[in-house]
């Protein structure tokens, strides 16, 4: 049985490595399984497409970063609630969902992103 806490640690390390450290190839080589199924419509399917997309992103948007606000794990799924901060003031709230294989390697990803609004009908914030 997979350890949900270990899965959380691995997914968080993957996200930090590929997004903040701008090392998507190393992240895939370290944390991905035999396949990598992508559901984000802006990123191609598979490991090579992932690497190409995030290497280009690192070049085009130096200084981008993500803060993981929450992480949840159940079985072979991990969910991250993140704050993405981009150059020139653009910010997103994001939910990333990862499926891991029986070896604890990431094999599938879904995400939903929302631009942080300038105003809100409440004082609770996005995080």
CATH number of the domain bearing residue 41: 3.10.450.50
pLDDT at 1: 59
Q: Say how many domains are in the chain.
A: 1
3-state secondary structure (DSSP) of residue 63? coil
Q: Is residue 105 part of a domain?
A: yes
Neighbouring CB atoms inside 10 A of 51's CB total: 20
28 lies in a domain? yes
What are the tens digits of pLDDT across the range 57-114? 999 999 999 999 999 999 999 999 999 999 988 999 999 999 999 999 999 999 999 9
In a domain, 9, yes or no: yes
Burial 93-110 (b: 16+ CB within 10 A, else e): bbebbbbbeeebbbbbbe
Indicate the pTM of the whole model: 0.94
pLDDT in tens, 33-55: 999 999 999 999 999 999 999 99
């Amino acid at each position: 049985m997979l350890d949900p806490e270990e899965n959380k640690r691995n997914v968080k390390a993957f996200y930090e490595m590929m997004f903040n450290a701008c090392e998507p190839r190393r992240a895939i080589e370290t944390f991905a399984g035999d396949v990598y199924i992508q559901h984000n419509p802006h990123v191609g399917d598979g490991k090579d497409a992932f690497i190409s997309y995030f290497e280009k992103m690192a070049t085009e948007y130096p200084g981008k970063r993500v803060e993981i606000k929450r992480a949840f794990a159940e079985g072979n799924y991990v969910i991250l609630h993140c704050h993405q901060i981009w150059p020139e003031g653009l910010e997103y709230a994001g939910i990333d969902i990862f499926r891991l294989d029986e070896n604890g390697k990431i094999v599938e990803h879904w995400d939903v992103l929302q631009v942080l609004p300038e105003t809100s009908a409440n004082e609770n914030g996005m995080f």
